[in-house]
Amino acid sequence: MGIAAALLDDGLPAGRRGWLGRIDARAKVLGLLFILVIATLVTTLVPLALCVGAAWALALFGGIDIRRVALALLAVPAFTLALAVPASFNVVTEGAPLVVLCHLGGGHWGPWRVPEFLTVTDRGLFVASRFALRSAACVSLASVLAAATRPQDLFKGLRGLGVPAAFVMVAAMMTRYLDLLVRCAEEIHLAKLSRSLGGVSVRREQAWAAASMGELYRRSRTLADSVAEAMVSRGYTGEVHTLRQGRWSWRDGAFVAGCLAFGAGLLALG
Partner 1 sequence: MHIPDGYLGPQTYVTAFGVMAPVWAWASHKVRTTLRLRQVPLMALGAAFTFVVMMFNVPVPGGTTGHAVGAVLVAILLGPWAAVVAVSVALAVQALLFGDGGITAFGANCLNMAVIMPFTGWWTYRLIAGRSPAASKRRWVAAALGGYVGLNAAALSAAFMFGIQPALAHDAAGRALYCPFGLHIALPAMAIEHLLLFGVVEAVVTGLVVAYLSKSEPSLLECALAPSPAPGGRPLWKKLALGVAALVLLTPLGLMIPAKLGAGDAWGEWGGDRLTELAGYLPAGFGKVAALWHAPMPDYAPRGAEEAALPVLSGWYILSGALGVLAVAGLVWIARRWLSGKETDGIAS
> Of residues 172-201, which lie at the interface with partner 1 (CB under 8 A)?
173-178, 180-182, 185
Do β-strands 108-109 and 112-113 pair in parallel, antiparallel, or remain unpaired? antiparallel
Nearest CB to partner 1, comparing residues 7 and 261: 7
Q: What SS3 class is residue 102?
A: strand
216 binds partner 1 (CB under 8 A): yes
* Whether 11 contacts 68, CB under 8 Å: yes
Part in contact with partner 1 (CB under 8 A); list of ranges 16-24, 54-62, 168-176, 255-263:
168-176
Q: Does 213 bind partner 1 (CB under 8 A)?
A: yes
CA distance 251 to 180: 36
Please name which of 22, 32, 33 lies closest in space to residue 246, comparing C-alpha atoms. 22
Name the minimum Å distance from CB 217 to partner 1: 6
Q: Site for partner 1 (CB under 8 A): which residue of 20, 30, 55, 145? A: 145
Residue list 3-42, contact with partner 1 (CB under 8 A)? 4, 7, 11-12, 33, 36-37, 39-41
Please, which of residues 219-238 interact with partner 1 by CB under 8 A?
220-221, 223-225, 227-228, 231-232, 236-238
214 within 8 A of 184, measured Cβ to Cβ: no
Site stretch for partner 1 (CB under 8 A), options 20-28, 167-175, 243-251, 260-268: 167-175
* 46 touching partner 1, by CB under 8 A: no
Site for partner 1 in 47-66 (CB under 8 A): none
Q: Which of residues 72-111 bind partner 1 (CB under 8 A)?
A: 72, 76, 80, 84, 86-87, 92-93, 111
- Please report how close the Cβ of residue 56 comes to partner 1 at its closest, in angstroms: 15
In degrees and rounded to multiples of 5, residue 106 shows phi and psi of 75, -170
Q: Which helix (H) or strand (E) holds 96?
A: none
Measured from the CB atom, the residue of 66 and 211 that comes closer to partner 1 is 211
Q: How many CB atoms lie within 10 A of CB 166?
A: 11
Q: Which of 102, 105, 112, 247 binds partner 1 (CB under 8 A)?
A: 112
Stretch that binds partner 1, among 17-25, 132-140, 241-249, 251-259 (CB under 8 A): 132-140
| Minimum distance from residue 250 beta carbon to partner 1 (Å) | 27
Pick the stretch among 52-60, 98-106, 171-179, 257-265 that binds partner 1 (CB under 8 A): 171-179
Instruction: Provide the sign of the torsion angle of the four alpha carbons 63, 66, 67, 71, taken in this order.
Output: positive
| Helical packing angle, 2-11 and 165-194, nearest 10° | 130
Provide long-range contacts, Cβ within 8 A and 24+ apart, for 258-266. 258/31, 259/30, 259/31, 259/32, 259/34, 259/35, 260/31, 260/34, 262/35, 262/54, 263/34, 263/35, 263/37, 263/38, 266/35, 266/38, 266/39, 266/42, 266/47, 266/50, 266/51
